[in-house]
Structure 1
Amino acid sequence: MTARFIRLKPILLVLIALVGISSCSKSVDPPPVENSISLSGAAEKGPFSKGASLTIQELDNQLKPTGRTFTTKTIDDKGSFEFQNIALKSDFIQVNIDGNYFDEITGHQSTTPIKLSSLVNIRDKKQFNLNIFGQLEQKRVQYLVQSQKLDFKTAKTQAIAEVYKALFVGTAAPSTTESISLSDSSDHAAILLAVSAALLKASESDNVKLVALIQTIADDLETDGRLSETVSTVFKNSLSHLNTDLLIFNIKKHYKDNGLELKNFNIQDQFTVRIVGEIIKDSFFKTLEDFQTFNNSIRLDMVRLSEKYFILEGLYSGTLGNTTLEDYTQFYRHRVSASNPLNSDLYNSYYRLIRAINLLVDQSRKTKVMDAQQFQYTGYTYLALLYDQMINLWGDPVFVHPDNYKELENGPAIARSKTENVRTELINGLKTAVPKLAQADYGLGATVLARLLRDQGLYAEARVQLDRLMQSGLYSLAAPFKVHSSLVPEGILSWDFEAVGSIPRNDNAAWYSKGRIHHIVRYSEVLLISSEVDYHLGNTLSSLQQFNQIRKRNGSTELITSGPSVWLAIADVYGQDMKNEGLYFAALKRVQRAELELSIDKNKLLLPIPEVQLHQNALLTQNPGY
C-alpha cells in the first residue's frame, strides 16, 4: 500500500505546537529564584571569639552542595555574626565556623581553634544560632533525609530528640538546634552549657581530642540515633562530675564582661543522671599548700551556698519581702513545689559541697604531709554546719559522710537517715574535732556543736561548750555600726565582699545584704544559744541577761519577763537582730510558733524534696503533704 501524506494547514501546526509546549511545562519545575537575604545569629561552643571565620555553603534539597559559598567573621566575643545581602536560591545551608572560643571550664579563651558546622533551613528565618548540637546531629540529619527519605524538618526534629536522649537529657528537645543559645539562660541553654562542658572535660580541654570525641558521637548516632555503651559511659562520667557552680560563674562573668547580664542556669534538673560534682583525684593532695587551696575553695563555696540559703530562708520565714519572680514567690507564699528550680538547685548545691568536704576530710586523715591532718577536723565542722542547715529546710537528710562517700560515687540509691541519728553522729564527731581545731576555726566548731546539743535537748553539755567559747575572749558583740562593716570582733565565719580580690555578690544580694560583711556564723548567735540553753536549764535570770545584751546593743529597751515568754522573746531577737541570716525559721519551729506566725500547715514546716532527686534516687522519699 502506498502511504498518503496529508498536508496540514499552518494554523493547525501552530495549535499542535502550543499543546505540546503546554503539556511539557506541567512536568518541569520552574528554576529556583535567587533571593537576596541577610542572616545573623551567634556561634557558641562557649561563645566564639571575635574574628572567628564563618562560611555558608548552599545545599540542594538532598543536602548536597550547590557550589555557592559566602563568608563573614564574628564581630564580638559573644560569637555574634551577620551575613549581609547574600544571594541564595535554596532554603538549605550548611554553616561552618573555625576559631577560638571561651572555655567555660577554665574561664579563659581557648588556646587553639575548633571547627563546628550545622545544617539550617533558612526559609522564613533571618536569625539562627550555631552550636555543638548542630555538629552532633548533622550526620544523623543527612542520613534521615538521604537514606530514610524524611523531609528536612522531620529529620531535624527527630535527630535533636535522639541526641538529647543519648546524652541523658530529660527535658523535651526543641524542634531545631539553631534556636538554642547560651545567652537566654533557658533550660536548653543550661543543657547546652553542660553538654559542651562535659565534652570538653572528657577531652581534658584538648581541642584535638574534643573534635575526635564529637566526631565519634556523630558517627555513632548516624544510622540509629544511639550511642555505643563505651562512648555513653565516657560522656556520662564526665557529665556527672561537672563543677556546675564554676561553669555558671564563668559563663555569666564572660557575658557580663561583654555587656550582657544573664540569669542563673538550672543545670541539675535537666538530666536523668545525678551531677555529683567535680572529682579531685587523690594525687592532687601533695603539699600543705594543696590542702590549703582546697580548703579555701570550700570556704568560698560555703559563702556562695549561704547566700542562696539566706535568701530562700528569709522569704520563707517572712523576714524578706515578696518579689514578682514566680520561683521566689513560691517561698514567700509557702507554696514551694517539688519542681521548683531554686529548691532543687539549693538541695543539689549542698550535696556537691558535702562531697568536696568529705574528700578533704578523707585525704587529710590519710596524708603524711605535716600540719595537713588538721583539715580533717576543720572539714568535719563544715559538714556539721551544712547538715544542720539542710535539716532545718528538708528534715531527715541522706547522710553522706567521709566513711561512705566513695561507695556512693556512682550514685547508687541511698535512704534518708533520721535527724536524731545524724545529729548524734555529728555531735560525736565534733566532740573529737573541736579540741583539735586551730584557733581560727575553733569558734565555728564550738558554735555548731552547741547548736546541735541544744537541738538534741542536751542542754547541760551545750552549757559546757558555750562557757569555754564565751570565756576564750576570741569574740564579743560589735558596736551597732560595726556589726556588718567589720569582721571583728563579732565574725566567726564571715566574708568581706569589699576586700581586695573578693568574689562578687549573689545577683539578688540586695534583698538580704546588711553591709559589706557577710556573716554565716557570728557571736550574737552564741549569746542567743546560751540564752536558750539557760532557759531550758531553769536559769531564767541568766537567760534574760544574755539576750538583753543584744537588745541593748541594738538600742532597744531591756525586757523583764519570766516563764515561757522568755523563750518567745529569744525567738523575737532572732527575727530582729539576725533576720536573713538563716536562723529565724528554725527558731520559730523550736518555740513551736512557726505555724501560727507564718500561717502555714504542719507539713509546710519542711520544704519538698526536689522531684529530680526522687527520680535519681529510688530509696529517697518525699516529705509528707507534697
Structure 2
Amino acid sequence: MTKAICNLLILFIITVALFGCSEKEDEKTNSKNNVNGTIEKGPFLTGSKVTLYELDENLNQTGKNFRTETINDKGDFSFSEIELSGRYIELEISGYFYNEIIGRHSNSQINLNAITDLSGEGNVNVNILTHLEFKRVKKLMKEGSSFLNAKRLAEKELLQIFHITTEFKNPEKISLTDGDENAAMLLAISSILLYNKSEGEFSEFISKLSNEFAEEGTITSKLLLEEIYYGETGVNALSVMDNIKKYYRTQETEVVVNNIRKYIDGNGDGVLDENDETIGEGTEPIPPLEQDNEKLFKEYLKGTYVNASNYFQLITILDAVRCKQVTVSGVQINPYNTLIESAWTRAYSIMKNIHTVLEHDCSGFSFDVKPYVTSLRLYRGLIYLDMVQHWGGVPLVTSRFDGNDFNIPRASKKEVLAFIVSEITDVLSDLPEANSDDDLIFSKDLARAVLANAMLEEEIADYQGAATLLKAIIDNDKYTLLGTNNLIYKEKNMEELFSLELIAPTLFPLFEEVIKHDGSLHPIYRFTGVMLNYAQSLYRLGAYDEMKTVISQIRASLDKEKLEFLPESDACTEVANLWQEIINKDYGYFALLKQLELAVPILGIEGYETLYPIPARELDLNSNMIQNPHY
C-alpha cells in the first residue's frame, strides 16, 4: 500500500469517526425533554405563568424559550416534549400564591426563579431557596466553578444565613408536601422572609437579598439582617404549620408538616437548638403553669416579663424614630413596619400569658400567690396604657380567648383607660409599699405612677387625682434624682421605680444602636419622670409657683441654676426639654409630648402621626379592625 493510499485511508477513518460523533452529539443536544415540577412560596395558584429558558454551558440564555401555566392551586406545571440542545435551564415564574403567614391568597403577584441541570431527571421545583441561590450560582460559574460545585457552595452559604448547618437536598428537589425535614426547612425559611410583609415589600426584600447574596455568599447589610431577625423572632410557627395543613386539605391533599420551629431562631441567639423547638409565637419559651410549684410559677412569670422587655425595646426604637431622636435608615412608620407588627403581637402574647395565670385555680397553692397576681394585674394595666398611648383604641382582651378568634373590635381609648384606672385602683392596696427584693412583685409606687400617667391622658383627664398620686410618691422620701447619672442603667438604685433587665444578647440589635448606654437595665418608670409628670399635673391645675419649685429641683440634679421666672407659655416646653435631656430615649417622651400637646409643633409631624398605624397583618386577620386615619 502506497503512502498516499495510507494517508487517504486514515483521513477516511477520521472523517467517519467525526461524522459519527457529530451525529451522536446532535442526537444528544437536540433531545426531547419533559420538564415538570411544583412552584411554592406557599403554593402558586392556577394560571401562574411559567417560562423556561434554555441556557448554554456558561448559563447564558440561547434565545430559545417555552411557556406554560400552572394547572392547579398546588403549583404544579409541566412542559412536554420540548426540544433542548443543552442540559441547563432557567425557570421564571410569575403568579399569585397562598400566603402561609396570614392564611389567605396573596393580593398581588410575585416572581421566582430557578436554575438547574437536566442531565438527571426532569423534575424541577421552584421556591424561595431556588430564587435566592439563582444569581449566586451564576456568579460562581463565571468565576470558574463547575455547575455542581457552584450549586453546592451556594446552598451551603444560603442555609448558614439562617443558622442551618445540616445538609439538605438540592432546593429544586424539595417540596412543601414531602413531609420531611427538607420540607420543614423550606417552609421555615419561606415564612421567616414573608413575615409581616405585603407582596410588594416581599418582592423587594428577596430581590435585595438575592443581589447581596450573589456577591459574597453572605448578607452583611444591617437592614436586611434586621428583617431576617424580626422574621425569626416574630413569626408564629404553629400558625404557619396549621395554615399549610388546612390549605392542602382544601385541595383534597393531606400533608405532614414537621416541626418548622427547629429551623427558626425564635429566641434570637444566633443558634438553632432545643430551646427554639419549644417557641410557639416568636417569644421566649414559657414553662407550663403547674399547681403548687412556686419555682415553676415564678419561671412562668419571668418568661412573661422577658417578653415584655422585648415589647418595650420595640416601642423604644419606634419612639426614638418618631421623635427624631435617631435616624435609622429604612425604618418608616407605616402599617407594614416590622417593629410595629412585632410590638403589637408581643403585647397580646403577654396578655395571653397573664390571663393564663389570672384564670388558673391557685386556691390550693401552699405559697402566697396574691402578690404575684396583683402585680400581674398592674402589669396588664401598664401594657394597655402604653398601647393606647401609641395606637389609640385597641381590642380590650381581659381573659383568654380562642386563638382562632381574631375578630375582636377596638375599644375606644377612653374605655381602655377607664379599665386601667379601675384595675390599678383595685389592686393598689394589695401591693407592698416599697420595691420588693423579688423583681416579680411590684410596689404601690409603681402602681401610683402608672395610674397617674393614665389620668394625665385627655380622654379621662383627672389632674387632681394624678397630682395626689404623684405627690404621695415624692413625699415618702425613698427616691433620689440622679439626673443623667449612668447608674440608672447599671444597678438597682434610688431613682428607679421599674426597670426591665436586658438579656444578653438583646432580642433586637437595633435597640442597642438606638439606646447606646452601658448597662443591663432599661428604665421604664423612674423618679425623674414622676417629678416631671407632677409638674405637668400642677400646670394643668394652675399651680405655677409649685410647678416652678418642682422644675427647679429637677434642674438642680443637672447642676443648673434655679428658675427665678417661668412664663406660663414656656412651662410645658420646659417640662418637655428636661424629659428630653434626662430621660431622653429611654421611655415615655412621645407620650409626654402628646399629653402636653407639643408633639406636632416640636416634632414637626402631622396630627394623625401622633398615633401609630394598626399593623397590616392585624387588619388582614381581623375583619372588625379599623385602621387609624390617613394610614
Scaled by the length of structure 1, the TM-score of the pair is 0.62
The one-letter code sitting in structure 2 at the alignment partner of 1:387 is: Y
1:522-541 mapped onto 2 (5 Å cutoff): 522-541=526-545
| Structure 1 position 416, deviation (Å) | 0.8
| Structure 1 position 469, deviation (Å) | 2.4
Residue 62, structure 1, aligned to residue 64, structure 2: no
| Structure 1 position 418, deviation (Å) | 0.5
1:426-575 mapped onto 2 (5 Å cutoff): 426-438=420-432, 439-440=434-435, 441-442=442-443, 443-455=445-457, 456-478=460-482, 481=485, 482-495=487-500, 504=506, 506-508=508-510, 509-516=512-519, 517-559=521-563, 560-575=565-580
> Which residue among 257, 266, 269 is the counterpart of 1:247?
266
| Structure 1 position 466, deviation (Å) | 2.3
Contact 1:453/1:462 (<8 A) preserved = yes
1:597-622 Cα offsets, whole Å, 9 max, x none, are 12222111112112122111111111
Q: Per the alignment, in what secondary structure is the counterpart of residue 461 of structure 2?
A: coil
1: CA distance, partners of 2:603 / 2:301:
38
Alpha-carbon spacing, 1:365–1:538, altered in 2? closer, same or farther (3 Å): farther
1:488-511 Cα offsets, whole Å, 9 max, x none, are 1101112566xxx86548523243
Alpha-carbon spacing, 1:367–1:322, altered in 2? closer, same or farther (3 Å): farther
1: CA distance, partners of 2:234 / 2:421:
41
Q: Per the alignment, in what secondary structure is the counterpart of residue 251 of structure 1?
A: coil
2: CA distance, partners of 1:188 / 1:569:
38
Name the counterpart of 1:413: 407
Contact 1:364/1:375 (<8 A) preserved = no
Name the counterpart of 2:133: none
The one-letter code sitting in structure 2 at the alignment partner of 1:315 is: V
Contact 1:399/1:417 (<8 A) preserved = yes
2: CA distance, partners of 1:244 / 1:555:
53
> Which residue among 577, 595, 612 is the counterpart of 2:600?
595
Name the counterpart of 1:207: none
1:561-600 Cα offsets, whole Å, 9 max, x none, are 2534323322222222221122222222222222111222
2: CA distance, partners of 1:414 / 1:504:
32
2: CA distance, partners of 1:245 / 1:301:
17
2: CA distance, partners of 1:622 / 1:289:
42
The one-letter code sitting in structure 1 at the alignment partner of 2:515 is: Y
The one-letter code sitting in structure 2 at the alignment partner of 1:549 is: Q
| Structure 1 position 139, deviation (Å) | 9.1
Name the counterpart of 2:114: none
1:533-552 Cα offsets, whole Å, 9 max, x none, are 22223322222211221111
Name the counterpart of 2:327: 322
| Structure 1 position 120, deviation (Å) | 5.6
Residue 422, structure 1, aligned to residue 416, structure 2: yes
Residue 616, structure 1, aligned to residue 626, structure 2: no
Contact 1:96/1:118 (<8 A) preserved = no
| Structure 1 position 248, deviation (Å) | 4.1
> Which residue among 345, 348, 359 is the counterpart of 1:348?
345
Contact 2:385/2:420 (<8 A) preserved = no
Q: Per the alignment, in what secondary structure is the counterpart of residue 307 of structure 1?
A: helix
> Which residue among 292, 302, 312 is the counterpart of 2:318?
312
Name the counterpart of 2:587: 582
Name the counterpart of 2:28: 29
1:204-283 mapped onto 2 (5 Å cutoff): 228=253, 231=256, 247-251=266-270, 275=281, 283=289
User: Which stretch has the larger CA shift, 545-554 or 285-294?
Assistant: 285-294
Alpha-carbon spacing, 1:188–1:625, altered in 2? closer, same or farther (3 Å): closer
1: CA distance, partners of 2:303 / 2:309:
10
Name the counterpart of 2:130: none
Contact 1:609/1:622 (<8 A) preserved = yes
| Structure 1 position 197, deviation (Å) | 9.4
| Structure 1 position 472, deviation (Å) | 3.2
Contact 1:480/1:554 (<8 A) preserved = yes
Contact 1:360/1:375 (<8 A) preserved = no
2: CA distance, partners of 1:529 / 1:454:
8
2: CA distance, partners of 1:587 / 1:91:
56
Contact 1:477/1:523 (<8 A) preserved = yes
1: CA distance, partners of 2:321 / 2:149:
55
| Structure 1 position 394, deviation (Å) | 1.6
1:108-147 mapped onto 2 (5 Å cutoff): 117-119=168-170, 134=174, 136=176
Alpha-carbon spacing, 1:367–1:451, altered in 2? closer, same or farther (3 Å): farther
Alpha-carbon spacing, 1:287–1:87, altered in 2? closer, same or farther (3 Å): same
Extract unaligned runs of 5+ from structure 1. 1-9, 36-57, 65-84, 122-132, 141-155, 203-212, 255-267, 269-273, 331-335
| Structure 1 position 245, deviation (Å) | 10
| Structure 1 position 458, deviation (Å) | 1.4
2: CA distance, partners of 1:21 / 1:228:
50
Q: Per the alignment, in what secondary structure is the counterpart of residue 481 of structure 2?
A: coil
Name the counterpart of 1:384: 381
1: CA distance, partners of 2:233 / 2:354:
23
Contact 2:532/2:575 (<8 A) preserved = yes
1: CA distance, partners of 2:188 / 2:303:
38
2: CA distance, partners of 1:244 / 1:371:
40
1: CA distance, partners of 2:118 / 2:537:
77
Alpha-carbon spacing, 1:183–1:513, altered in 2? closer, same or farther (3 Å): closer
Contact 2:599/2:605 (<8 A) preserved = yes
Name the counterpart of 1:372: 369
1: CA distance, partners of 2:390 / 2:602:
17
Aligned length: 475
User: Which stretch has the larger CA shift, 610-619 or 243-252?
Assistant: 243-252
1:227-255 Cα offsets, whole Å, 9 max, x none, are 846857xx7xx88xx7999714233699x
Q: Per the alignment, in what secondary structure is the counterpart of residue 320 of structure 2?
A: helix
Alpha-carbon spacing, 1:565–1:195, altered in 2? closer, same or farther (3 Å): closer
| Structure 1 position 522, deviation (Å) | 0.6
Name the counterpart of 1:361: 358
1: CA distance, partners of 2:233 / 2:252:
18
Name the counterpart of 2:49: none
The one-letter code sitting in structure 2 at the alignment partner of 1:61 is: G
Residue 303, structure 1, aligned to residue 309, structure 2: yes
2: CA distance, partners of 1:597 / 1:448:
25
1: CA distance, partners of 2:230 / 2:251:
18
| Structure 1 position 291, deviation (Å) | 2.0
The one-letter code sitting in structure 1 at the alignment partner of 2:451 is: L
Alpha-carbon spacing, 1:394–1:192, altered in 2? closer, same or farther (3 Å): closer
RMSD: 5.3
